Amino acid sequence: MSKWKKYPDLRKNVQAIKNLCVYRVSFREGRLPWEMLLLFNPRQPKGPFWFVPHDDENSAFASGVYAVRRYGGGMLSVVAGGRRYFRGQDPNRNFGTTQADARQCRGQKSPAPIYTRTIFSIIDAFRSGTPYLALHNNSDGYSGNGGSGTISVLRSTKRSQAYPAFPKIVRGNGGLKDEDTMIYIAGRAARASRSKVNRLNRQGINVKYEWVDSAHNDCSMSNYVILRKGTDRYYNIETQKGDRRTQRELIDRLVRIW
């Protein structure tokens, strides 16, 4: 374990990862020397595989470790010195492989074919019939442009629809009924599949649906999966920062029904 001391996420989860395999993944693309941590369950390496793009979302990392220990498979986490961005690039807005992608996607600095190919080759090597999976944490509540909270299951837009699972959603410190707790799904249709939404809602899961098309590609993982992988089997589990208990509960509920 001594060689991993420089990685805070590993230090914080040292007991939880002791029976997992841990590898460092590194590569350079242009000016960016990417570094990531790959963890997988040696007893069951094939299975669900989780992507954690933001290094400031510590609960997401810990929840990924929980999922790998319990359900097998693995996870890949971007190392960015505890920051959301890596040298100015959002890791979750870097899934564009061409100059046209980079021009269209406001969050992408330059084309990233190596980044995209590396991440999905790892994911596809481990996942076995499971959806594409991501883990994120968010700030408390939706505060508009003037606050830190940027998403809420109480808020829909032209490109996203919210489907709360409960008649009363609260703004609080976590839990299934918190407005910050949800699972994102995505697809090419303007509206979500009601059967898919209902299946999640019946499990007590708030749902946010993202409408994806080529004209509005943002070079996120969800957009790449829909537009390039040709599947809508994508789930992103979102909970408030620090709310590990709820994120793990969502993992358990999602695994039962996907």
The pLDDT value recorded for residue 94 is 98
For residues 232 and 185, is the Cβ–Cβ distance under 8 A? yes
CATH code for the domain defined by 2-257: 3.40.630
The pLDDT value recorded for residue 37 is 98
**Phi-psi category of 213—alpha, beta or left, where left has phi over 0 and alpha has psi -120 to 50?**
beta
- Cross-strand partners of 183: 207, 237
Cα→Cα distances 184→88, 231, 249, Å: 25, 15, 15
* Pair of tokens at residue 215: 């004209």
* Pair of tokens at residue 147: 């606050």
The structural domains of the chain, with segments of one domain joined by +, span 2-257
Give the residue among 136, 134, 121 at the shortest CA–CA distance from 48: 134
The pLDDT value recorded for residue 145 is 42
pTM, entire model: 0.95
The pLDDT value recorded for residue 148 is 47
> What residue ranges of the chain have pLDDT lower than 50?
143-148
DSSP state of 144: G
The pLDDT value recorded for residue 139 is 86
The pLDDT value recorded for residue 149 is 55
The pLDDT value recorded for residue 39 is 98
